[in-house]
Amino acid sequence: MHTATIINGKEVAAQLRRDIAGMVRARAEQGRMCPGLAVILVGEDAASKVYVRSKIKACEEAGFLSRSFRLAADTSQQVLLALIDELNEDPQIHGILVQLPLPDHMHVPAVVERIVPAKDVDGFHPYNLGRLAAKSPILRPCTPYGCMRLLDAYGISPMGKNAVIVGASNIVGRPAALELLLRGATVTVCHVKTRDLQAELARADIVLVAIGSPGFIKAEWLKPGATVIDVGINRLASGKLVGDVDFESARDKVAAITPVPGGVGPMTIACLLQNTLEACEALDVAQAS
Ligand SMILES: Nc1nc2c(c(=O)[nH]1)N[C@@H](CN(C=O)c1ccc(C(=O)N[C@@H](CCC(=O)O)C(=O)O)cc1)CN2
Ligand SMILES: [Mg+2]
């Protein structure tokens, strides 16, 4: 029976984090600053708390300075913007991250756009998205960037391939389209208004799914030999975490697939560290000149 290569994001992320820690140690030996990340969490979203804790732990393990800010769910947007203004000016902080989702009374674009682009380690600021769209990325959204690094790690080139993205979110689908286009794929982005998703998937060599619907993508919709990147993280009533793709049936049909957990998720955090290190290096150079 054919069975797919399981793309081990945990392992690839761990190696990237070790490499980053090595670079931070080398910086320290040269008397250069360690990268500093500020993480802001507004409210009590349970999953967000887990992700923020993982990010802070990853910072500590890589030798970064991390500062964490917990704001109550009813904090005004003005207070959040004032905190961002302070961090924008703080020379020890090279990366500022506001964990999403934000409470409903906040306007996400206004918050994201308050972060100076040089410290926007989530890569969500229109300046950084624009740089990616214009083929000269600087800080890139962590999850799509992590997906590309997974493809690289497994020698899977998007060049000339049909890539179909399912889900057009600002965090994943849209920037993933730009990443795949940059790597030479022919890109289709599907979303809730797409008329015939199955027809699009039938010719997809690379499928990247980020919709937040457990097991939505069925094995019979996939092209034999495709590569499947599953960004979905869905917790079932049983407590089990599953992706947006029906993994158990898909693995018998495709060439390679990311598992959930242990696929894309760990890469998001490793790429956040990578971006923070790059932001630190760029700010260092800017200060020296
Ligand atoms: N400001 C941001 N907010 C959000 C982002 C983001 O990149 N920036 N992405 C997601 C959540 N996210 C990081 O914040 C994230 C999600 C999942 C994982 C992860 O490691 N998942 C593990 C499973 C973890 C578990 O047991 O729950 C896996 O897939 O193996 C890391 C980060 C939304 N918000
Ligand atoms: Mg995963």
Tens of pLDDT along 140-149?
Answer: 999 999 999 9
In the chain, how many domains are there?
A: 2
Nearest ligand for residue 7 CA: 2
pLDDT the model gives residue 151: 98
**Residue 156 shares a structural domain with residue 254:** yes
Looking at the predicted structure, is the pLDDT value of residue 13 above 70? yes
Active site residues: 55, 99, 122
Q: What is the mean pLDDT of residues 29-37?
A: 97
pLDDT the model gives residue 284: 84
pLDDT the model gives residue 207: 99
Tens of pLDDT along 132-191?
Answer: 999 999 999 999 999 999 999 999 999 999 999 999 999 999 999 999 999 999 999 999
Decide if 22 is inside a domain: no
**Residue 151 shares a structural domain with residue 48:** no
pTM: 0.97
**Residue 151 shares a structural domain with residue 260:** yes
Ligand 1 centroid to Cα of residue 113, in Å, is: 21
ω into residue 175 within 30 of 0, thus cis? no
Q: What is the mean pLDDT of residues 98-127?
A: 98
Whose C-alpha lies nearest to ligand 1, atom 4? 100
For ligand 1, what atom is nearest to the CA of residue 262?
30
- Can you read off the two tokens belonging to residue 9? 């994001």
**Residue 247 shares a structural domain with residue 179:** yes
**Residue 148 shares a structural domain with residue 260:** yes
pLDDT the model gives residue 33: 95
pLDDT the model gives residue 240: 97
Looking at the predicted structure, is the pLDDT value of residue 257 above 70? yes
Nearest ligand for residue 95 CA: 1
pLDDT the model gives residue 289: 73
**Residue 94 shares a structural domain with residue 162:** no
Decide if 44 is inside a domain: yes
Known binder of ligand: residue 167? yes
Decide if 134 is inside a domain: no
Ligand 1 lining (C-beta closer than 6 Å) = 50-51, 54, 97-100, 122, 142-143, 171, 233, 241, 260-262, 265-266, 268-269
Tens of pLDDT along 58-82?
Answer: 999 999 999 999 999 999 999 999 9
Decide if 192 is inside a domain: yes
Looking at the predicted structure, is the pLDDT value of residue 131 above 80? yes
Decide if 157 is inside a domain: yes
**Residue 173 shares a structural domain with residue 224:** yes
Decide if 97 is inside a domain: yes
**Residue 196 shares a structural domain with residue 94:** no
Known binder of ligand: residue 233? yes
- Can you read off the two tokens belonging to residue 56? 């802070």
**Residue 110 shares a structural domain with residue 151:** no
Decide if 215 is inside a domain: yes
Whose C-alpha lies nearest to ligand 1, atom 22? 265
Ligand 1 centroid to Cα of residue 18, in Å, is: 19
**Residue 149 shares a structural domain with residue 220:** yes
**Residue 152 shares a structural domain with residue 107:** no
Q: Are 141 and 106 in contact (CB under 8 A)?
A: no
Residue 240 is part of a domain; what is its CATH number? 3.40.50.720
Known binder of ligand: residue 54? no
Binned at pLDDT 50, 70 and 90, residue 3 comes out as: confident
- Can you read off the two tokens belonging to residue 284? 């260092």
Mutate-to-test residue for ligand 1 from 6, 39, 51, highest number of ligand atoms within 8 A of CB:
51
Binned at pLDDT 50, 70 and 90, residue 285 comes out as: confident
Looking at the predicted structure, is the pLDDT value of residue 288 above 90? no
**Residue 149 shares a structural domain with residue 255:** yes
Q: Can you tell me the distance from the alpha carbon of 278 to that of 289, in angstroms, rounded to the nearest whole number?
A: 17
pLDDT the model gives residue 1: 66
Residue 43 is part of a domain; what is its CATH number? 3.40.50.10860
Whose C-alpha lies nearest to ligand 1, atom 26? 261
Q: Can you tell me the distance from the alpha carbon of 178 to that of 171, in angstroms, rounded to the nearest whole number?
A: 12
Decide if 123 is inside a domain: no
Question: Which range of residues forms the domain containing residue 231?
Answer: 142-265
Looking at the predicted structure, is the pLDDT value of residue 238 above 70? yes
Nearest ligand for residue 98 CA: 1
Q: What would the DSSP string read from start to end of 13-25?
A: HHHHHHHHHHHHH
Ligand 1 centroid to Cα of residue 30, in Å, is: 33
Known binder of ligand: residue 36? no
Q: Can you tell me the distance from the alpha carbon of 43 to that of 50, in angstroms, rounded to the nearest whole number?
A: 13
Amino acid, single-letter form, for residue 264: V
Q: Would you state the torsion angle of the CA atoms of residues 158, 161, 164, 165, taken in this order, to the nearest 10 degrees?
A: 10
